[in-house]
Structure 1
Amino acid sequence: MDLLTADQFQQLLWGMRTTIILFAVSWVMAFALALVLVVVRATEYRLCRWFVDGFVAYHRNVPLLVQVMFWYFGMPELLPENVRFWLYDHNAEFSFAAIALALGSSAYVAEDIRSGLRAIPNTQFEAASSLGCSYLQSMRYIVVPQALRISLPPLVSRALLLFKNTSIAMAIGVAELTYRTREIENMTFKTFTVFGIATVLYLIGTFTLMAFGSWLENRTRLDRKAAAK
């Protein structure tokens, strides 16, 4: 088995670094947007519910690769020429990939949180209202935190899927782990070695996320037990 040089291995590590950053940025944006979607959808305004339903339906039924390419090749055409060139000179690939991944994931995350929201008894809303809480205060301090605890397992699975889906960004030239792997493989033809190392790096990332998710689930379970006492 041919080994990689130190420089080639370093390139893979830089690719892994880009993957982690892309995942973190996309996840934060997706989670924040999903919370907004859930709160808006739970209102009594039909137009708000229709908007969120349309947003979720679009992002759940259009392939993620198409969404990434649409943002990178299509959206810049709507911008002024000077803004477009500025973006292309400042790592537009990463920015548009992060936006597309975040929007695509937010639709699924919103549905996961919505499922947890349905498990909250209506008495929680009534109790919050009787205490003088507004709709937003009830959602922020009482309802959504409980829904997040219930939705934690699917949210961890969604984070794992997003981490793996960052590889789609290679289609528009983001130098993440898969992009670097293909680049080195094309130059060296060390297919088994380079893809083997990339596989190990992806496994390290996913196992780390799984361990963190397991710790978080145990932590919230202990907090609920302590609150019950």
Structure 2
Amino acid sequence: MRPQTKKDFPWWLVATGALALLAYGAVLTDEVQSQVLRTLSKGVQITVFVTLVGFALASLIGMGVALMSLSRSLILRQIARFYTEILRGIPILVLLLYVAFVLAPALVAGWNWLAAQLGIEPIRVRDFSLLWRAILALTIGYSAFIAEVFRAGLLSVEEGQIEAAEALGLSRFQVFRLIVLPQAIRTILPPLGNDFVAMVKDSSLVSVLGVLDVTQLGKVTAAGNFRYFETYNVVALIYLTMTISLSLLLRRLEARLRERP
């Protein structure tokens, strides 16, 4: 098989653009589908919010777990391994339901116990919104996968460079910030970008909690107009637009990183 070169013309992108123009043309010229598009566009904001907040929090937790897994402490390494192996084995949908209906009430109960000790007003379970329960579930689930991405990226940096930096008197934090992270990011970015695109798609699972994202609005709209074909065509088109746009952006970012010395 001939390897890909820089001279390869992106015919797939041309085909994708042509199909997108045809699809949006069909949607905008059809009264039912154009109305569905206007309705579902209200859910895009929720989908984007869930994805951005969930992924940012998952990345922070994932980085922390990755550093724990590379720690010199046996206890921290074992805790990190336990965390990643357990959470990676639970389907996101199951985790979503568990967090929403088991963990969230437990957190509220724990807060109310603490509030009673401190004389603070307690809260009710209903005050913990389903939107934030969904974000918490996605954060926990994806943090385990992202932790492995960060761990692999950090391990890709040669040990000799780290030892040389320490020999020059740099602190561990300076070694991480100046030596390890800039090199590791080139290895981390592609799989991290894949996880981000995957979270955009998995954010549709929050519809099982009634969160008004694109998928939930699509379900409600289809149940009201009984035009399932047109409605779910638009739902698929919206998700494809977001995921393909993100994929192109991430490829461009990867190419720029490869061009740097």
How high is the TM-score relative to the length of structure 1? Answer: 0.90
- Residue by residue over 1:35-69, the C-alpha shift from the partner in whole angstroms, topping out at 9 and shown as x without a partner, is 11111211100000111111101110011111111
Distance (Å, rounded) in 1 between the aligned partners of 2:35 and 2:216: 16
Structure 2 counterpart SS, 1:44: coil
Distance (Å, rounded) in 2 between the aligned partners of 1:97 and 1:7: 28
Distance (Å, rounded) in 2 between the aligned partners of 1:85 and 1:119: 44
Letter in 2 for 1:49: R
**Residues 48-127 of structure 1: matches in 2 within 5 Å?**
48-78=76-106, 79-80=108-109, 82-85=122-125, 87-88=127-128, 92-127=129-164
Unaligned 5+ segments in structure 2 are 1-25, 113-121
Distance (Å, rounded) in 2 between the aligned partners of 1:122 and 1:16: 44
Query: For the Cα contact (< 8 Å) 1:76–1:84, is it kept in 2?
Result: no
Counterpart in the other structure of 1:216: 253
Counterpart in the other structure of 1:30: 58
Question: Structure 1 vs Structure 2: percent identity of aligned residues?
Answer: 26
Larger Rg: 2
Counterpart in the other structure of 2:18: none
How high is the TM-score relative to the length of structure 2? Answer: 0.79
Counterpart in the other structure of 2:228: 191
**Residues 151-190 of structure 1: matches in 2 within 5 Å?**
151-190=188-227
**Residues 34-45 of structure 1: matches in 2 within 5 Å?**
34-45=62-73
Distance (Å, rounded) in 2 between the aligned partners of 1:30 and 1:123: 30
Distance (Å, rounded) in 1 between the aligned partners of 2:64 and 2:183: 16
Structure 2 counterpart SS, 1:187: helix
- Residue by residue over 1:3-38, the C-alpha shift from the partner in whole angstroms, topping out at 9 and shown as x without a partner, is 337664332001122111111111111111111111
Structure 2 counterpart SS, 1:62: coil
Counterpart in the other structure of 2:22: none
Distance (Å, rounded) in 2 between the aligned partners of 1:27 and 1:44: 28
Root-mean-square deviation (Å): 1.9
